[in-house]
Structure formats: structure tokens, C-alpha cells
Amino acid sequence: MSDKKELRKRYKKILGSLSEEERASYSRIICEKLSSLVKGKIFLSYSPIGKEVDVSRINELYLPAYPRVLKDHQMEARLPKNSRFLISRYGIAEPDPDHSILIDKKKLEVILVPLVAFHESKIRLGHGGGYYDRYLKNTDALKIGVAYEIQKTEEDFSQMHDIPLDMIVTEKSIY
């Protein structure tokens, strides 16, 4: 089993090797694939940080909820009103709680999940806080990992608490 910290570090470096043009092109292809999976659905998306897949096209086309980080490594889904966002302590744009609607996770039909690396067995390596693993428990929503193909690893890093995804969408494949 691989050390997750070391794997995170390695894959963040690999992500950094993509040019802006590649990242933009691959993100566009991934968003095209995601479009049919989220159209007409109540879904949770994300505000991309760092070198994550840019899902801004999906966020602009449809009306997603976004995660908001809470205490104790928990998160909630909020539907922003008037595009009001605040920057979290992690530097992530989140809906302003005073200008958004809390969405019960049981009402979500699809959850788009960012990741650092993934195995084709649909296990994801996140940023290390466990927010998504905790949130993905007890939901019937379709859990879709969003990644570039270069984020795929053959290394086994899974642990008991990891929640498998239902699918992972890259610019080249759907796992």
C-alpha cells in the first residue's frame, strides 16, 4: 500500500506538468462528457482549485450546489443566490451561507468529486482532509470523480474509510 502523502505530492507535481492549453482542452472535453450526466439534475459541483479539472463550464450552464466546509471535517451542499461566494480558510470559493440555500444531501442526484489521483477501481485520492469521504457516506447520488487521465495510478492506496466512486470521467475515458 502506498503512502498517501507521498502519492499526493507526486501527483500534484504530475498535474503541474500539464500546460495551460492542455488543461483547458482536457477540461472542455471532460465538461462535454459531464453535461449529459448532470443536465436536469440536482447536483453538487465544486469550485476548482490549483490544477484541478476546471468545471466552470458545467457550473455556468447549469445551476449546481457547491460544498461549504464546516467544523470537524464535515461539509454541506449550498445553492448560491446571486452568485454570492466567500473564500474559505482553504482558499476555496464557497457559497455565502447568508445568501444560499442548504440542500439536503439525500436530494442530490449527482455529486462531482475533485481528486488528486485515482485508481481504475474507482477509489480516489483527495487532498487529505476526508471531507468528501465523510460526505459521500449515506447518499444515493451518483458519485462522479472528475480527473485528467494522467491522474490515474496503478498503486493501491485504498483504506477502509475510502468511499468508492460510481464512475470517473477523464478526457480519454469513463471508468
**Reported confidence tier of residue 129, pLDDT bands at 50, 70, 90:** confident
Indicate the pTM of the whole model. 0.93
Sorted by where each starts, the structural domains of the chain and their CATH numbers stand as: 4-169 (3.40.50.10420)
Q: Which grid cell is 11?
A: 501527483
Phi/psi for 132 (5° steps) reads -70, -40
Give the closest residue to 114 by CA, choosing from 76, 160, 156, 170. 170
pLDDT digits over 136-163, tens only? 998 999 999 999 999 999 988 888 778 8
> What pLDDT does 149 receive?
98
* Cα(135)–Cα(98) distance, integer angstroms: 22
